[in-house]
C-alpha cells in the first residue's frame, strides 16, 4: 500500500472526473501523473487567493464542447487533433503552406493544396484543426 511518507497521494474521484482526466490524457498524449503534477504546480501559493485552474487548453466551456463535437463529427482514426489559429498562408503554385499557432510559442506548418484552402475558405485568423497521423498533417475546419 502506498504511503504518504513515500510521496504517494491517493484520492477518490467520481466516474465523471475519471473520464474527464482520461479524455484529457488521451487528447494530450500525456500521463495522468504528468497532468496532476502540472495541476499541483500551477496552484497559487497565496492562501487567500482563489485558485482558478483549468486543465483543459480551452478558453471556455463552449470551446471545449466544440472540440469534442468536432472529434465526433470527423469520426477519424487519428488521435492527435490539434486546435490552432492560422497565422500565415503562403501560396506557391498548387500548394499552400499554412502556419498555425497551436499553443503559446508553438507553431505547426502544414502544406495543403490551394483548392483545399479555397474549398474550406481558410484565411488568416481562422480557427482550424491539424489532424496528425503518422507522418501526415491535414487541416480540418467546420464546413462553411
- Residue 80's CATH number: 2.40.50.100
Q: Is position 17 within any domain?
A: yes
The pLDDT > 70 percentage for the chain reads: 72
- Residue 32 sits in which domain range? 12-56
Task: Match 498555425 to its residue by C-alpha cell.
Answer: 100
Cα–Cα distance list, 98 to 9, 103, 113, 143 (Å): 44, 15, 10, 18
> Does residue 61 lie within any of the structural domains?
no
CB 39 within 8 A of CB 52: no
pLDDT value of residue 50? 43
Residue 56 pLDDT exceeds 50: no
The model's pLDDT over 6-55, given as tens digits with 9 standing for 90+, comes to 677 777 888 888 888 888 888 878 788 877 877 777 776 545 444 343 34
81 inside domain: yes
pLDDT, averaged across the chain:
78
Distance (Å, rounded) from C-alpha 82 to C-alpha 33? 22
Task: Break the chain down into helix, strand, coil percent, rounded to 5.
Answer: 35, 30, 40
Cα–Cα dist 72/87, whole Å: 26
Answer whether residue 103 shows pLDDT above 60: yes
Q: Is the pLDDT of residue 75 over 70?
A: no
Same domain (yes/no): 82, 129:
yes
Residue with the larger pLDDT of the pair 136 and 110? 110
Report the pLDDT value the prediction gives residue 80, as an integer from 0 to 100: 76
Alpha helices in the chain (DSSP H): 15-28, 32-42, 61-74, 114-119
CA distance 56 to 45: 21
User: Are 134 and 79 within one domain?
Assistant: yes
Mean pLDDT over residues 76-91, rounded? 84
Q: Is there a contact between 74 and 85 (Cβ–Cβ < 8 Å)?
A: no
Res. 87 pLDDT band, cuts 50 70 90: very high
102 and 77 part of one domain: yes
Q: Is residue 6 one of the residues assigned to a domain?
A: no
Amino acid at each position: 500500500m502506498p504511503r504518504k511518507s513515500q510521496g504517494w497521494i491517493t484520492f477518490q474521484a467520481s466516474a465523471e472526473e475519471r473520464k474527464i482526466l482520461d479524455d484529457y490524457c488521451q487528447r494530450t498524449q500525456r500521463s495522468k501523473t504528468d497532468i496532476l503534477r502540472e495541476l499541483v504546480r500551477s496552484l497559487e501559493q497565496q492562501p487567500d487567493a482563489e485558485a482558478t485552474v483549468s486543465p483543459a487548453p480551452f478558453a471556455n466551456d463552449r470551446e471545449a464542447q466544440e472540440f469534442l463535437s468536432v472529434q465526433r463529427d470527423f469520426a477519424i482514426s487519428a488521435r492527435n487533433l490539434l486546435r490552432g489559429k492560422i497565422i500565415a498562408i503562403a501560396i506557391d503554385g498548387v500548394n499552400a503552406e499554412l502556419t498555425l499557432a497551436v499553443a503559446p510559442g508553438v507553431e505547426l506548418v502544414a502544406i495543403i493544396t490551394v483548392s483545399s484552402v479555397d474549398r474550406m475558405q481558410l484565411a488568416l485568423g481562422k480557427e482550424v484543426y491539424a489532424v496528425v497521423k503518422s507522418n501526415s498533417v491535414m487541416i480540418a475546419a467546420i464546413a462553411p
